[in-house]
Chains A and B, each alone.
Chain A
Amino acid sequence: MSKKNNETVVIRADMTKTQWTIREMKKYKVAYLMVAPFFILFFMFTVVPVVLSFLLGFTTFNMLEWPKWVFMDNYIRLFLDDEIFLLAIKNTLVFAAVTGPGSYLLSLFFAWFINELRPKVRAFVTLLFYAPSISGSVYLIWTVVFSGDQYGFANAWLTKLGLINKPILWFQNEKYIVPLIIAVALWTSLGTSFLTLIAGFQVVDRSLYEAGAVDGVKNRWQELWFITLPYMRPQLLLSAILAITGAFGFGGVITALVGFPSPNYCAWTIMHHLEDYGWSRFEMGYASAIATLLFLMMIGANLLVNKLLRKVGT
């Protein structure tokens, strides 16, 4: 008690905001110290690159010579003089619109179903569904199934059934690429977000269901909508962010399956465009501008999802 009396009493209104902040920081310096290692790394390797990338977006930079400031030229070219970028935006949006919600709903429903199983079976089935995304490049098995060789699985079966008489180059034919890629994307999408949702279902307080039953919940759908989902909103949000960033950034798998670039740019996404300019054309300035746009698009999509999720349970 006596110690407290010795301290000078400080009133928030007496000082400027900066002074107050500094004071508070001093007070909690141990906490700042503890967060410092992470914060320094995060700042150095995340914040600084993002800012740099944003700045580079206003230059031409070939990665070997000093950048030249060109202000908005990159953005003007992006929107007015780059048909392929517009194509990439279209593809990305189509792709994100299908696989984002698709994978999200798939994750949600599988998580819900699996949650109904007995614990031991649940663990096993979870592993089964999660396996494709743990094992890294496992999607490459689709190149075997849909190999362009006449002895590839799909071609061999179709030939045997008499449906085709010349092998189809599945991953080289515009007609098949996008559907196949979307299928593969959905197949691999039961990843971290799926696990998060399973965890979310587990934390729902059982007593709420009883309360719900008393309050007039009639069926499982209502239970899901009014009790389970609102209760696990944090998990839903994380999972949604993962699904969105996943859908927007789904470039590597496409490259591995159909090559770079995809025939006639039919599966060309913003990620590919960025790669193309950054690494094969040595135009990092332009690539940074693309990255900035992609970044804005993701933030926009996140805000949208936030809004939507707020409607859950209402």
Chain B
Amino acid sequence: MSKIKKPLKRIASVLLALLILVTGCGLFDTGITASALVESVNGSDSLVRTSLSEIRSVLTSMSYAAYLADHANLQNATKTVEIDISKCNAENTTATYQYVDGGEYGADGKILLTADDGKVSFDVEIPDDAFYCIEIEYWTGNAVVSDSSGNVVAEGKSTNIERIILIDGAVPFKEARSIKLSRSWYDSYYVVNDDYKCVYDETGKKISYGTDDPLFVESVRDQTQDARIFQRDNNGNEMKPAKTLSPEWVTVKVQDSSGYNNGALRFAFTKGSHVLTLSTIREPVAIKSIRLVPDDDIPAYSDYIASYTAQGVKDYSGSETFKIQAEYPTHTSDKTIYQLNDRTSAITEPQDAALQRLNSIGGDKWTYVGQWVEYDVVVPEDGFYNIVLRYKQSMMEGMYVSRKIYINGEVPFAEALNCRFNYKDSWQVGGLYDGLTVKEGESFKFYLKKGVNNIKFEVVLGDMSSILSRVETILTSSNAYYRKILMLTGPDPDEYRDYGFEKIMPDVLKGLKKAAADLYQISADLTAITGVTGSNNGTLERVALVFERMGKQPDKIAATLDTMKDYLAALGSWLTSNQSQPLTLDYMVVQPVDAELPDAEAGFFKNLGSEFSKFIASFFSDYNSISSTTEIDEETLKATENAAIEVWTASSRDQAQIIKRLVDDDFMEKYNIPVTVKLVIGGTLLPATLAGTGPDVAMNIDQTTPVNYAIRSAVLSLNSEEHGYNFNDFSRFKDNPAYSGILDKVSTFDEVFARFAPSAKTPVTLYGETYALPVTMSFPMMFYRKDIFVEMGLEVPNNWDEFRDVSSALQARNLNVGFPTGTGGSMILMYQVDEPLYDMGNYDYYLTQYPDLFGYDEATGKYTKNVYYDDEGNVIPKTDGMTINLDSNASLAAFKQVCQYFTSYDFPVSYALADRFRDGTMPLAVADYAGTYNTLIVFAPEIAGLWEFTPLPGTVLEDGKTIDNTTVASISTMMMMRSVSDDNAFSAWIFMQWWTSAEIQSSFANEMEALLGPSAKQATANLEALATMSWSKDEMDNLAAQFNAVECTPEFPGSYIIGRYTSFAFLDVYNDHANPVTEMQSYIVNINSELSRKRKEFGLLVAEDFAALEAEAQENN
């Protein structure tokens, strides 16, 4: 017995040990890259910073509701006032503008083009004191504006146009700070054959058509369930059509883009002359006319019916119904509103058990105020019809979402301003109702004229708008109260101290009490609207309770401050979540008023059958292959199959799909080389390369990997024949038939690197050989809250002295500053005084002092080992990176400075930036621009326009004037793996240069934004592509300024050790108050010895070689 037991135990322990080894490895393979170190570039002093006074002119806390109340006795205007836009008020105009003949834009007469670089103003003469609405006729296409000498200064980027409206130089109310003019998009379909494959014309191009084309009109109007017009891929899945900007003239009344106020905004004017100013936030625009018009009187539903009935209009007499599939809109406001594949119901039309059918539209892509979708429907006679939708609203539990209905461009009656869609977790079918005049289950009837009618659904906040607007006002003011209290007490107030709030800030106490009362009232109003008391009321009332207690019992404030902070955050997310109004549509039916409704959901057995067939189908469909649409004929296949490449990307499925689409649409068209894109999980690259089954090109690789792999010969050089290929010289690929005719469409290595900031080459280059191309580049910039800076009278800091002053001022008021810790921060300071991370340069010294080490041949005067030649042909020893430069005086000073921020100035080491920036307790932070921007734009909509990011503060150079505001960037890369052969290496290069080109980077960025919304901004490294992305003018100027001053750290063998020891040094200083200088110096030895050890492994020169020679020389002396 015991004999058997022993080996068993052994085997068990072996097994367990192994299991632990294996799982341990799994746990570790993410997040090992210790190096937090990045890269850099050099000084720009042309900073674009908004001055304090400029910010102040735009900030106003007056809400529209208060504004209306202030002008309560003003009448709606009676006459239209046409504004003469053919003359700008020169004094108040700073933007580039230009008058051009409207012909080019499909308009008669002159039109005004204004660029995105300032404001334009117009004089206006008002006949009476009255409220006017502002009506603008603008072009939804992209405007191109040139200056007087004909240079293009601004070109539209297809994003929404955004302006600030000022009257007589001031913003009348805060809603006027962001006026958005939407674009219009349509789907471009390809003509397809019976197999749903593209048909090509005689020149070999795909034939595309838009939604105004008769082909679309016919296919959609004569809709039967089987008539599909989407292109399908090789697997049979339907593919989304591309969205195209639809350029047309539209006339809109200026509306509140936050949606808090339904209907057009009213502006109060007094009799006499005024100046109307449009100040740019985003995009140039072409304007045909601006008028001040009286606000419309939209009739009530009963009047609407009565007036048409009086004209003899009757209910539609026929029995026919007119169905439009929702996936065929004629226009949408955003390119993000695209067709979706719904698989939640068996009767969503159409449906396939295994394949993707684009059978619905909307969902979480159609949730923001102002987004609209429109359809054309043809009816046979004038009359009243019901508009019935099959829709799903399963995201806003206990709430409803709202849509505003336009028929032929007009809101037919007041109730149509907010039609409701109630919550249900399954699909619903029903007519339109508002819940007040017409209850759920009944529906409005609409007058449609004979022929084509246009029906538009626009996202509005509906009855919730006033609630949300009131909550936002409370949130803004309470955030200010919180900051005021915080400034007095600090974040951890003493409960037992009497701060004397009654004396110091009676207004805050009063405000809190008022806010509490308002919140209770809002909660009651909410119940009245939704008819239920739910979790939404809970949030509001809990907050109200806290405010009430704080207002009434000031001695409890200190103890409650923490709770208040949490509740403010809760209120903020309540506001954000209630602003989204998601709705998915399956189809729309226009039908006789007394017709029965179609089925909302399939019956039990139908659902069962459908689910069962989906289950069975799931065994047979390959969800992982992202299939190609292009079929290549046999001959071409043969010629190019050797040149085919495989590309791996470790990203999200969405990204991979976009890459695939771009490859099919663009790459194949241009180069006709087969590319297989594979989506892999991170960490597969190394084992796959080891096993020889790796890809030819790897994408989404961090910046340390290329050099690390290259020194182990797993990655090929892109500019040298010795360790790869030299793509500056295409001659060796000329004769390959696969590349005939495309060589002139391929950029050389040098041309490609001209696309990026020069420093982007640094991390991917080792001793003259470059092993990868940069794809994205991100770096820290300075984020600050404009409103708080204005409130405290602070100027945005330009250099570190000012930065320290501002920090002190903020901290004196108990506010915080965010800053990268340790070397993350000190590297910025180092690179601003041109101190690199490693010891570099000094080449002549090495070459002349130690000629033997470099194989100097006196006869020829050539060096034969341990050297390389740079582009100019200079000989350079491979001595860079032997030792670390963190022990130079400047580096130590920088490190000490940064440590001081955290020890003496108490900057927090660990913090949630988005939260603290939002509630204003951290109004200044140095943080990565792309990530922070993306978070704030989605996470904190209520502070939109109240913050911006600018280049970093700089170091004042010796001349006392120049400021070097260099930042240190990190990049992501793509590299060519050793799996390529001579046959397809050039294909890999073609792919790499194609992917990093401006055109593709910009398409990719736009597609990502289209798919994931404004928070998916790509930090592309391609400067030209960056400029075409949807950054506003100011943002872009700031980015460009910082891009002029960006550096990257180089990568050398052993670089992983640096981040590790420097963070030890920082933690020692922070935790144990050690001396930063001695602490850093104590780790230098460890870092250098690891660098040497790694260099020896690869046969590179190490510092000890020189030290030994030097010692020898001294001995000989």
Contacts and interface: CB of A to CB of B under 8 A. Distances in A.
Contacts of A44: none
Contacts of A238: 12
Contacts of A259: 31
Main secondary structure, interface of A, reads helix
A159 B1064 CA distance: 26
Contact of A149 (B31, B562, B911, B1060): B911
Contacts of A242: 16
A150 B908 contact: yes
Interface string A230-267: 00000001100110011011011001100111011000
Contacts of B16: 241-242, 245, 298
A291 B712 contact: no
Nearest to A246: B20
A279 B17 CA distance: 19
B911 to A, nearest CB: 6
Contacts of B912: 149
Interface stretch (A25-33, A89-97, A171-179, A207-215): A171-179
Given A150-B491, A169-B910, A252-B23, A279 B32 contact: yes
Given A150-B491, A282-B708, A169 B1067 contact: yes
A279 B33 CA distance: 9
Given A169-B1071, A241-B9, A264-B1067, A251 B15 contact: no
A278 B25 contact: yes
B24 interface: yes
A248 B34 CA distance: 24
Interface in A264-297: 264, 271, 274-276, 278-282, 291, 294-295
B934 interface: no
B20 A245 contact: yes
B1056 A281 contact: yes
B31 A260 contact: yes
A173 B1067 contact: yes
A299 B10 contact: yes
B709 A280 contact: no
A262 to B, nearest CB: 9
A136 B689 CA distance: 31
A167 interface: yes
A19 interface: no
Contacts of A246: 20
A66 to B, nearest CB: 10
Contacts of B19: 245
Contacts of B27: 251-252, 255-256
B28 A251 contact: yes
Listed residue (B27, B28, B565) with the most chain A CB atoms within 10 angstroms of its CB: B28
A122 B1097 CA distance: 59
B18 A248 contact: no
A106 interface: no
A241 B910 contact: no
Contacts of A276: 32
Contacts of A255: 27-28, 31
Contacts of A280: 32-34, 1056
Contacts of B12: 238, 241
B189 to A, nearest CB: 47
Contacts of A264: 1064, 1067-1068
A155 to B, nearest CB: 9
Nearest to B16: A245
A64 B24 contact: no
A23 interface: no
B31 A46 contact: no
Contact of B910 (A149, A248, A261): A149
Interface in B1-42: 9-10, 12-21, 23-25, 27-29, 31-34
Interface in A127-182: 147-152, 156, 159-160, 166-167, 169, 172-175
Main secondary structure, interface of B, reads helix
Contact of A156 (B562, B909, B1056): B562
Contacts of B910: 147-149, 152, 167, 169
Interface residues of A, number: 58
A126 interface: no
A96 to B, nearest CB: 12
A158 to B, nearest CB: 10
B93 to A, nearest CB: 48
A123 B213 CA distance: 70
B20 A248 contact: yes
A260 B34 contact: yes
B1071 A174 contact: yes
A49 interface: yes
Interface residues of B, number: 51
A49 B17 CA distance: 12
A144 to B, nearest CB: 12
B690 interface: yes
B15 A64 contact: no
Given A260-B32, A279-B32, A302-B13, A159 B911 contact: no
Nearest to A271: B24
A62 B714 CA distance: 11
A105 interface: no
A282 B1054 CA distance: 10
A24 interface: no
B297 to A, nearest CB: 52
Contacts of B565: 151
B686 interface: yes
A50 B909 CA distance: 43
B713 interface: yes
A18 B10 CA distance: 24
Given A148-B910, A260-B34, A295 B17 contact: yes
A63 interface: yes
A249 B911 contact: no
B712 A65 contact: yes
B31 A64 contact: no
B1071 A275 contact: no
Contacts of A291: 21
Nearest to B491: A150
B565 to A, nearest CB: 8
Nearest to B1065: A264
A64 B714 contact: yes
Given A172-B1071, A275-B32, A298 B17 contact: yes
A302 B9 CA distance: 9
A264 B1061 CA distance: 8
A175 B1070 CA distance: 13
Contacts of B709: 64
Given A149-B911, A166-B906, A46 B21 contact: no
A21 interface: no
A302 B495 CA distance: 56
Contacts of A249: 17, 20-21, 24
B622 interface: no
A222 interface: no
A202 interface: no
A298 B13 contact: yes
Given A149-B910, A241-B9, A306-B9, A169 B32 contact: no
Given A245-B20, A280-B1056, A261 B34 contact: yes
B476 interface: no
B712 A263 contact: no
A250 B519 CA distance: 51
B15 A46 contact: yes
27 contacts: A46-B18, A49-B18, A60-B1097, A63-B686, A64-B689, A150-B492, A169-B1070, A172-B1071, A173-B1067, A242-B16, A245-B20, A249-B17, A251-B28, A252-B24, A255-B27, A255-B28, A260-B31, A261-B34, A263-B1064, A263-B1068, A263-B1071, A274-B21, A280-B33, A281-B1094, A298-B13, A299-B10, A302-B9
Given A151-B491, A246-B20, A249-B21, 13 more contacts: A42-B15, A62-B712, A64-B709, A64-B713, A150-B908, A166-B906, A167-B909, A172-B1071, A174-B1071, A252-B23, A263-B1064, A281-B1056, A306-B9
Give the top 4 A-B pairs by smallest Cβ distance, nearest first. Answer: A252-B27, A249-B20, A148-B910, A64-B712
